[in-house]
Every structure is written in C-alpha cells, then in structure tokens.
A and B are shown apart, each in its own frame.
Chain A
Amino acid sequence: EDQVTQSPEALRLQEGESSSLNCSYTVSGLRGLFWYRQDPGKGPEFLFTLYSAGEEKEKERLKATLTKKESFLHITAPKPEDSATYLCAGRASNDYKLSFGAGTTVTVRA
C-alpha cells in the first residue's frame, strides 16, 4: 500500500528563520511527487512536481528536493504570508490517484 508521511505536524518559525519540511514516501514506481499549499478553509494550491531523485524546483522562498525515499520543502527566510499547511502527495506508476500525507502546518511570526 502506498504511504506518504510528513513531519513535523506543526512548525512555528520566526520571520527570517529558515527551516525544512520532510515528506517520506513508499509509493510503487513513483511517477511524481507533488507539493501543495493549503490556506485555512480553502482548497490546496499546486506548488511543485518532482519526478526523479536529485531534481530540485524553486519558487520564491520555497525549494523542493527529491531523493529516492524522501522529499524536502525548504523555506528560506520565511515571511508571515508563508503561514499555511503544506501537503505532500505521491503518484504510483500504474495509477492516476494521489496519496496524500497529513500535512505540516507552518506558522511564521513577525
């Protein structure tokens, strides 16, 4: 069974304090590792897709990386507007469905 596990569950940061979120996966023949951002009461918003180990993608203060067993979302010098829940999901090679982790809720204090 495909599994995606995110840690930590919650992360409180001071503005400017860089940190990383972890996503561990066991997905059969991974055909994409996805990161989403979700604000309270809203639907998730797509951030990145990573396909192969060693791949990296960046968007503003966010950088996602992928290894054979994990993905990391690095937040560099975060601002209060980066406060959100970040979701990780994996797609298996023989499927269209995504398996989601429970998310990491990030709070950035000014």
Chain B
Amino acid sequence: DGGITQSPKYLFRKEGQNVTLSCEQNLNHDAMYWYRQDPGQGLRLIYYSQIVNDFQKGDIAEGYSVSREKKESFPLTVTSAQKNPTAFYLCASSTTGEYGYTFGSGTRLTVV
C-alpha cells in the first residue's frame, strides 16, 4: 500500500537539543511539506519541497531545517533555536497537478 510514514509517533526533546522527525513516502509524489498544528490554530507551513535538492521556507521556518536528498524522504530537524517546539507535526506529499495532499499520521513533539 502506498502512503506516508512519519516516525516516531511521540518524541521528547530536552532543552537545547536538536531532534529530527522522519517522513518517508512511496507514492512517487514530487512535492513534500511540513506543517505544524497547535490547538485552536490552523496548520502552519514550515517548509516545502517541490523537487529533490530544493526546498523553500514556509510561514514559520525559523528554528527548523530540512533536507531533500531523495524523492521519498523529507526529514525535519527542530533545532535548539526553536523556542516553543511543543506541537503536533504533520508531513504531507502531493503531485504537482490539480490534487490535494496525502498526510502522514503525525509526530507529537514535547519539550521536557
């Protein structure tokens, strides 16, 4: 079955620590996205990539970094510069045509 896999499902970060969230898709989609979801707020775009080795900042990129070395993979690193990282992180992918996203199941990140 084709889909998007996010791991881990739960992640705990200590102050000053960098953590990396994994996102892998086998849908052969060109575009991939990272969103952050906080209670009572809409999904906010962190980074997106339309092609391998290229990515663009979204609306809230500060404190985050990404890479796109393979079409299937788009990992997100939450750095120590992100002061309020506790949130639900969603990865998505899409074709570059007239279609919406397919989402992963999310990673819940908590600062301890």
Contact = CB atoms under 8 A, between A and B. Distances in A.
A97 interface: yes
A102 B40 CA distance: 6
A43 B40 contact: no
Given A32-B100, A97-B48, A42 B42 contact: no
A42 to B, nearest CB: 6
Contact of A49 (B31, B58, B100, B102): B100
A45 interface: yes
Interface stretch (B11-19, B63-71, B79-87, B90-98): B90-98
Contacts of B108: 41
B41 A96 contact: no
A64 B94 CA distance: 22
Contact of B98 (A31, A98, A100, A102): A31
Interface string A70-96: 000000000000000001010100001
A51 B97 CA distance: 13
B75 interface: no
Interface residue range, chain B: 20 to 34
B43 interface: yes
A58 interface: no
Given A46-B102, A49-B99, A100 B31 contact: no
- In terms of DSSP, what is the predominant structure of the interface of chain A? loop
Given A9-B40, A44-B90, A98 B101 contact: yes
B42 A43 contact: no
B90 A98 contact: no
B100 A101 contact: no
A66 interface: no
Contacts of B48: 96-97
A96 B94 contact: yes
22 contacts: A4-B42, A36-B103, A41-B106, A41-B108, A42-B106, A43-B90, A43-B92, A43-B103, A43-B105, A46-B100, A46-B101, A49-B98, A51-B98, A89-B100, A96-B94, A96-B96, A97-B45, A97-B48, A97-B58, A101-B42, A102-B41, A103-B42
